[in-house]
Chain A
């Protein structure tokens, strides 16, 4: 094929994807990083500021207090997902992949259902259920004689973040479940049969034979959880608004980013500081992905078949 024709072919096939992707994905990411090095002036112009925005963000109390608060909350948000969502997902996947289980597809389809719904809908539905006005949650506890446990969990500083995290766990547990479930199905039956012949019961076979084989998937689930959690915004915004109340108790990086960039009742929007927050988020996510690629991925290579 002549050189010119081949080049035209490549441009035709690759051009559109590269153009849209570069303009609307890569360029904005790079421009955001660059933006974070300037400071936005009141008249709308930009001045070179080096790492000044980051210094402000990390050390100036008016900025650093909300920043560290959001980062801390985001870590709690992530830890709750790691400690509740992924183990529950693993348990459900393990049960679903048991041989000769009836109604397997029905369970799988129904348990995955909440994951399909919009976070706005989920957030609001739970807000209604937990609302003292409607009293469903209270009524529920009362049937078990636990009525005294009820509190407006979403409205209390001490419990709002945990409540929001658990609602997010409830919605997204389907993802680890499905990923681990397929990994379990891919394990050859002979391996488990051999273990059972050697005298292991179903539970032991799971712990000693299957679990080591699905570490790569659990690693993948963990990094997906990390990236999604540090990029989360919708649920907190839908349930608690941009101010992430009460008193910023549910503020995570995504809502901080939104407030910094757009402004709110308390402050004016600032594109430069917004870019700085976004760049910090990018850094956190990149550190997580790198740690996964270099530590987890490399180690587990040995186990894969």
Chain B
């Protein structure tokens, strides 16, 4: 009997907190489909045929460049993931496999970036990007995000590579494979699960970042979706239909991705950060 009561209490707390976590999200998405009057008069009611009105979405996709900004965000995120995984796996392999004099020192040097936020170097990053003529380009964002994400990627991938049995590499060497072939044809396929973890891990902060898009690519049609939505909200601040629709278009794709990848992401969070 007492066990029963405590189980109910546990579910009550978790259930209430879940409601608190979901309420703002559901509220925004729900009201984005409603007519203006219904948004204000009955905000807590779901959209029904009688008060359905997609005017916000027509505005968002009609007179703005949000589709372009989506493409920018996808380009930046995919580019960052690709470079982070490729360069990170290569460095992790060299650091775990080869013994050389500066090995430990290099590993330490690369791990500085795990704790020190790269944002604090922004003044010099802007000057550097300006000198390279990369202001308002996606290239600048990809390079900065790659630098930002490499340390943790190398850390996670190194742990994974170290677990691969030594015999496997030695056997490949006996067969006469070059070191390059061993890495690209044997090691890379083996660490695919860890790479998936790093990818999911890298994806969310890059997609959601506001700071570097604001500093490095604030205009010229190179805005990411996060910055684009921020600028859009600033312009349409009094148009509630447009604002709610813009927020929803930013929320829904991320949540879909999250639901698809949530298992991998949570595993990544736990394997990466706890050790």
Contact = CB atoms under 8 A, between A and B. Distances in A.
Interface of A: 6, 9-10, 12-14, 16-18, 20-21, 23-29, 31-32, 35, 88, 91-92, 95-96, 98, 101-103, 107-114, 116-122, 124-126, 128-129, 134, 136, 139, 170, 175, 178-179, 182-183, 202, 217, 220, 224, 227, 231, 233-234, 237-238, 254, 257, 261, 271, 274-275, 278-279, 281-282, 285-286, 289
Given A24-B143, A134-B43, A14 B90 contact: yes
Given A121-B229, A285-B120, 16 more contacts: A13-B183, A16-B90, A24-B118, A24-B147, A25-B147, A28-B121, A31-B128, A110-B22, A113-B25, A114-B25, A118-B210, A120-B208, A120-B226, A120-B230, A237-B214, A281-B120
Interface stretch (B57-65, B107-115, B190-198): B107-115
Given A26-B112, A217-B274, A113 B255 contact: yes
Q: Which has the most chain A C-beta neighbours within 10 Å: B24, B94, B151?
A: B24
A109 B119 contact: no
B162 interface: no
A125 B230 CA distance: 12
B258 A92 contact: no
A110 B19 CA distance: 9
Interface in B17-63: 17-18, 20-22, 24-25, 27-28, 39-40, 43-44
Contacts of B262: 109, 112
B210 A120 contact: yes
22 contacts: A10-B94, A13-B91, A16-B86, A17-B88, A17-B90, A20-B143, A24-B146, A25-B113, A27-B124, A31-B127, A96-B14, A103-B14, A107-B18, A121-B251, A124-B247, A128-B244, A179-B270, A231-B120, A234-B209, A257-B122, A278-B120, A278-B122
Interface of B: 6, 10-11, 13-15, 17-18, 20-22, 24-25, 27-28, 39-40, 43-44, 83, 86-88, 90-91, 93-95, 98, 100, 106, 109-110, 112-113, 115-125, 127-128, 143-144, 146-148, 150-151, 154, 179-180, 183, 204, 207-211, 214, 226, 229-230, 233, 240, 243-244, 247, 250-251, 254-255, 258-259, 262, 266, 269-270, 273-274
A25 B109 CA distance: 11
A13 B93 contact: yes
A170 B91 CA distance: 37
A55 B255 CA distance: 47
A113 B21 contact: yes
Contact of A92 (B17, B128, B250, B269): B17
B270 A237 contact: no
Given A27-B128, A136-B27, A9 B179 contact: yes
A136 B146 CA distance: 41
Contact of A125 (B25, B44, B113, B240): B25
B274 A220 contact: yes
A170 B18 CA distance: 11
Contacts of B113: 21, 25-26
Q: Which 7 A-B pairs have the closest CB atoms?
A: A28-B121, A24-B147, A31-B124, A13-B94, A17-B91, A28-B124, A182-B270
Contacts of A103: 11, 14
Contacts of B243: 124, 128
Contacts of A21: 110, 113, 147, 150-151
Contact of B269 (A20, A91, A178): A178
A282 B113 CA distance: 12
Q: Which has the most chain B C-beta neighbours within 10 Å: A32, A88, A139, A285?
A: A32
A18 B112 CA distance: 12
Nearest to A234: B210
A112 B266 contact: yes
Contact of B116 (A125, A136, A285): A285
B121 A114 contact: no
A88 B43 CA distance: 29
Contacts of B124: 27-29, 31-32, 35, 275
Nearest to B29: A125
Contacts of A261: 122-123
A109 B116 contact: no
Contacts of B258: 113, 116
A61 B243 CA distance: 40
Contact of A25 (B6, B118, B233): B118
Contact of A20 (B21, B22, B87, B100): B87
A197 B98 CA distance: 50
Q: Which has the most chain B C-beta neighbours within 10 Å: A110, A170, A183, A237?
A: A110
A146 to B, nearest CB: 17
Contacts of B146: 20, 24
Nearest to A185: B270
A129 B87 CA distance: 44
Contacts of A23: 128, 143, 147
A225 to B, nearest CB: 13
Nearest to A289: B115
B24 A125 contact: yes
Nearest to A231: B117
A122 to B, nearest CB: 8
A2 to B, nearest CB: 13
